[in-house]
Structure 1
Amino acid sequence: MEKQQKVLVAGASGSLGLEIVKVLNAQGRPIRALTSSDEGKEKLIPYTNDIWKADASKGGDAIANITEGVDTVISALGNSISLFTPNEKSFYKIDYQSNQNILRDAEKHGVKRFVYTSIKGADVEEDYTVARAHKLFEQALRATDINSTIIRPVGFFSGLHDLVIMAKRKVIPLIGDGSAKTNSIHHADLAKVVCRYVDEGPEVTEVGGPEIHTRLEMAEMIQETIGGKIVKVPEVIAEIGLKLPNFFEDIHEKLDYFKFVTTNDMIGEKNGNITFKEYLANLDKNQLP
């Protein structure tokens, strides 16, 4: 019987990473999981006993030889874009530097393949801080001899938690007229796409969910499920707000990218079965602040 190739999953205890681990485990693939917390380690114990707890952004001894004996690296490692989740480290430090440190180790140990979950917008000319870190790593990955697939999801359902949280506070802000379209995807459906490309795949693919909606339609679904009033914020007002003195850099960077994704069409190849309406219906509102 042919030996299954070992897969390293970086960011393994995050919402996407954990779903990837579950799919790989169901496939019977040997898994090495990287997480940065004890809580994350507990989540991973049912799926593998090869768990590394380390901060990849530190590089050096923290993750030395993490890819030894690994055939494929899957990275779902990245900073939160939620306004309600303060990031301890910058997007550059996590989304670029952490992945770059893993990539260096992968080159050292002759890893055959690297599957990287990036973000739609990483290829745009505008210099958004959130997207820039992904763009830098995409460039670094392509510069190596490692066979790779870059996956750019158009957005996660969980990325809209901020609107759900604000809906609980009776307001659903909508930048512009809400006509921009997207087909965001559930992280469990995205995990299946990621795992489809463990052995081979395209250089770059933009991935979306099963249904395309306007931003207004999605806001109305949130309103129907949670409540709250939809408040349209003219783009010009949003632009003025972004030009105010930047006292909270992390929030400012996230708002800048949020304006971009909510006022431009973000559509990728249709995948999965979980709809946004189903996601909202099954969301535990009590788990949200």
Structure 2
Amino acid sequence: MEEKVLVAGASGALGLEISKILKSRNIPIRALVHSSDGASKVSPYTSDIYRADASEGSSEIKDITQNVTTIVSAMGKSVSLFSGNENSFMENDFFANNNLLDDAVKNGVKRFVYVSIKGADAEEAREFEVAKAHRKFEEALQASGLDYTIVRPVGFFSGLNDLAIMAKRNVIPIIGEGKAKTNSIHQKDLATFVMQYLNEGPETIEVGGPLIHTRLEMAEMIKEKIGGQILKVPEKLAELGMFLPEMVSDNISSKLEYFKFVTSNDMIGEKTGSITFQQYLDDLDLNDLP
């Protein structure tokens, strides 16, 4: 069978970069997207595009994996507070991927590369809906019998755009003193990393960008680029604000809970890539942010 790669979540920040690399290598691509806008974004890289909500059920994506050798899934719910998708993390990160996995097993797909999150398997993270949904699918993939690699990035630079958006509104919140460290990664560097394991690789690997910063250092870089004031939110106060159901939806509450967790704990993966957070900010077009 000729090699064909199904990219799930192909119109997202990471999925697009993976599609670009596949196109440059003349590897045939099948793209799974959720919207007509997503289809337009991936159309320069393939005409083999499925538009569907994979979380709706297996009938939505029946035989999408037919004649596919490898799946790369960057499909999942955005953790941004400013994204509008009302589906839950369990729907977008578990059910959607699990429906895809069922189809893959049925059609004899050889390999599945899944982009999860760092800490999905950590005991202290399992109380959060974000980590719980990712881990549930990891376990399903591990039990599927397919050859697989699970890539757990510490987070994308673009995932920090919420802080840039808030900086435009003159405030940059951080939890506690901002001493927790991370080495977030650019989606281009992550796409290059993921592509190393297209044909074979370890069962799991955690990855980050080239430089480690504290959350305060990153906030200071955002302030230098955009302006605004850094607001240190005491952990106890942050916890109180995250568990007031009359003030926030379950969707937003889940995101806030996870935001507190990742920004108050060290999140460091294997260093890779070359694009720094400062370079990302230098290239960021503020007009693209709401």
Relative to the length of structure 1, the TM-score reads 0.97
- 1:19-78, CA deviations, whole angstroms, 9 ceiling, x for partnerless residues? 110011111111111111111111111111211111111223211001111110000000
Q: Distance in 1 between matches of 2:262 and 2:156?
A: 12
- 1:98-131, CA deviations, whole angstroms, 9 ceiling, x for partnerless residues? 0000000000011110000001121121310111
Contact 1:86 1:250 in 2 (8 A): no
Identity %: 62
Contact 2:172 2:231 in 1 (8 A): yes
Contact 2:29 2:46 in 1 (8 A): yes
In structure 2, list runs of 5 or more residues that go unmatched.
none
In structure 1, list runs of 5 or more residues that go unmatched.
none
How far apart are 1:235 and its partner, in Å?
0.8
Contact 1:4 1:29 in 2 (8 A): no
The answer to whether the aligner puts 1:280 opposite 2:278 as a matched pair is no
Relative to the length of structure 2, the TM-score reads 0.97
Q: Distance in 2 between matches of 1:154 and 1:85?
A: 20
The answer to whether the aligner puts 1:60 opposite 2:61 as a matched pair is no
Q: Distance in 2 between matches of 1:121 and 1:176?
A: 20
2:271 aligns with: 270
Q: Distance in 2 between matches of 1:176 and 1:110?
A: 49
Number of residue-to-residue matches in the alignment: 287
Q: Which moved more, 1:125-134 or 1:149-158?
A: 125-134
Residue identity matched to 1:186: H
Q: Distance in 2 between matches of 1:251 and 1:63?
A: 28
Contact 1:19 1:188 in 2 (8 A): yes
Q: Distance in 2 between matches of 1:243 and 1:61?
A: 37
1:211 aligns with: 211
How far apart are 1:4 and its partner, in Å?
4.9
SS at match of 1:149: strand
1:37 aligns with: 35
Q: Distance in 2 between matches of 1:269 and 1:40?
A: 31
SS at match of 2:266: coil
2:176 aligns with: 176
2:196 aligns with: 196
Contact 2:58 2:100 in 1 (8 A): no
